[in-house]
Structure 1
Amino acid sequence: WYYYKNGTLVRNAWAGNYWLGADGRMATNAWVDNNRYYVGNDGAWIKDYGNKSGWQKEGSAWYYYKNGTLVRNAWAGNYWLGADGRMATSAWVDNGRYYVDGNGLWVPSYSETSKNISALNMTQYYQGDARWGGKVYGISNLANTGCVPTALAMAFSGLGQNVLPTAVADTIYNNTDEMNVSELGTSGKGAVYAIRAYGYKHAVITTKEQLISALQSGKPVFATVGRGIFAKGRLTHAIILSGYSNGKTKAMDPDSAYNTGKWYDVNTIWNQRSTDPYDTNIGGSFVAIG
């Protein structure tokens, strides 16, 4: 919905009890007008919404408001509020320093060493291996654009299935349009298709806390990263993460003998996550496999 006055689109202003944003679109389910007022699902201003205070249950999740403002990335007593304001449960939080149980309550008895877990024992594969690097899939070959199937083959080996990168690539290419068809490489949807095809569940990771929790639970994490440690000279790249030790995780790189098999700071890797729509068309660029 938009509102016009004398033929001109109204922006950044109220039309009755409805707020028009910078693009002129009527806002819904949002704080507006410099975060002073809240409009609901139908766009109408909710008069008492700004008076929210303390714990509020919305749907199945708990949130905490202070003076009408949603608290994020902070503690409310012994409960942690994540980046989206949701109370965390069964997770390591606050940069992996503390653990909260299934009810969200901090568990002081969890020791520092209990956060550490060994990395999976994976077979090292390289996308440019002479045995398969020249195999063509659509508009390119495995050596140039095969990081996703090669990374997933390593993850599957760590979970007990010894499959070659070509087998994973065949699975994606022959059953989807998500590899070297509309764009170079494999999309997030293509990666998830392969994870399911090989019998595993997946969970898209959208916060650093979720990443740490997945690593500490022993799950390998498929990660697409942007330019930085692993994606020098290319737009994005796929790697596998596993294990957790004092804020670091082990990365398996399908295209670099220098980078692979080393432990890296989780914060650094999280900050280099891909934001490319081709990688994030599943809702994020990191996926826990299990």
Structure 2
Amino acid sequence: MKTFSRVLCVCCICAVCSLLLPASAGTFASPAGSAPAEPASGTDYQTVAAGTGRAMPIVMYSQGDPAWGSYLYGGRDPMASHGCGPTALAIAVTSLSGQEVTPVDTARWSYANGYFSPGRGSVHGLIPRGAESYGLKAEKLAAITPDSFRMVLSADKLLVLLMGPGDFSDSGHFIVAYGYDDSGCILIADPASTERSLAVWPAETLIGQLSKTAKDGGPVWVLSRP
């Protein structure tokens, strides 16, 4: 499988999250034996869960997409390196509401409403407040367990996770969980990596790598239709 270069996180101080991505960010991986492909912006991206699994169709965006990867978040920081928050929010809003909301739209909203942090990325409150601004319901997941993940995802809701150091980041990174397979592993949309998005993740692995410094109801938010 064609892979991404390693993702490095700049910093995550208290309520801030950002990523530093290599120049190859936005290149999508393809399954072994198939030709590489570049999905168009907003391509439907769904892993079909078999057996007792459950997955809702979502629209997948990459923060490094050529359509907006060089867009300057807050007028100064490229989306490809600092846009995981707006991109995760755009995935959730577009998938749940049916509105076509791009990462640029959510980045502009974030900046206009004070959720952009220069050089650092996004204030954590971007996820709940941004979701509510687009008409979604946002809640804190109080009991963070594998069973609670699967229960929420069974109800056609999405989880936005703020990850800490580990497989996703050296410090902090927003991803979206949208289902689980028949073994109970979680299906995710990672704004920075199609390779990680194509993998399935034990809920225990994700829970063990959640941010320990999350604010504003994090590190796990439940987003749903009102």
Q: Secondary structure of 1:259's partner? A: helix
Alignment of 1:80-159 (within 5 A): 116-138=52-74, 139-159=76-96
Q: TM-score, with normalisation over the residues of structure 1?
A: 0.54
Alpha-carbon separation, structure 1, partners of 2:60 and 2:126: 21
Alpha-carbon separation, structure 2, partners of 1:238 and 1:269: 12
Q: Deviations over 1:184-234 (max 9, x none)?
A: 111221121210111001111132233332122221101110122221xx3
Q: Structure 2: 5+ residue runs without aligned partners?
A: 1-50
Per the TM alignment, residue 161 of structure 1 is displaced from its structure 2 partner at its CA by 2.4
Matched, 1:230 2:168: yes
Alignment of 1:139-288 (within 5 A): 139-159=76-96, 160-175=98-113, 177-181=114-118, 184-209=120-145, 210-231=148-169, 234-245=170-181, 246-276=183-213, 280-288=214-222
1:196 partner amino acid: E
- In the alignment, is the contact (CA less than 8 A) between 2:176 and 2:188 conserved in 1? yes
1:198 partner amino acid: Y
- In the alignment, is the contact (CA less than 8 A) between 2:53 and 2:184 conserved in 1? no
Q: Secondary structure of 2:222's partner? A: strand
Q: Secondary structure of 1:255's partner? A: coil
1:154 partner amino acid: I
Q: Secondary structure of 1:129's partner? A: coil
Relative to structure 1, is the Cα distance of residues 269 and 161 closer, same or farther in structure 2, using a 3 angstrom cutoff?
A: same
Q: Deviations over 1:79-107 (max 9, x none)?
A: xxxxxxxxxxxxxxxxxxxxxxxxxxxxx
What CA RMSD, in Å, does the superposition of the two structures yield over aligned residues? 1.9
- Work out which structure has the larger RCO, using CA pairs closer than 8 Å and 6 or more positions apart in sequence: 2
Correspondence for 1:289 among 213, 223, 226: 223
Alpha-carbon separation, structure 1, partners of 2:135 and 2:157: 14
Alpha-carbon separation, structure 2, partners of 1:207 and 1:155: 21
Deviant stretches of 4+, over 2 Å: 115-118, 206-213, 244-247
Alpha-carbon separation, structure 2, partners of 1:148 and 1:249: 20
Alpha-carbon separation, structure 2, partners of 1:216 and 1:156: 18
More strand by share: 1
- Radius of gyration: which is bigger? 1
Q: TM-score, with normalisation over the residues of structure 2?
A: 0.69
2:215 partner amino acid: N
2:216 partner amino acid: I
Alpha-carbon separation, structure 1, partners of 2:89 and 2:217: 19
Q: Structure 1: 5+ residue runs without aligned partners?
A: 1-114
- In the alignment, is the contact (CA less than 8 A) between 2:58 and 2:178 conserved in 1? no
More helix by share: 2
Alpha-carbon separation, structure 2, partners of 1:261 and 1:255: 12
Equivalent pairs counted in the alignment come to 169
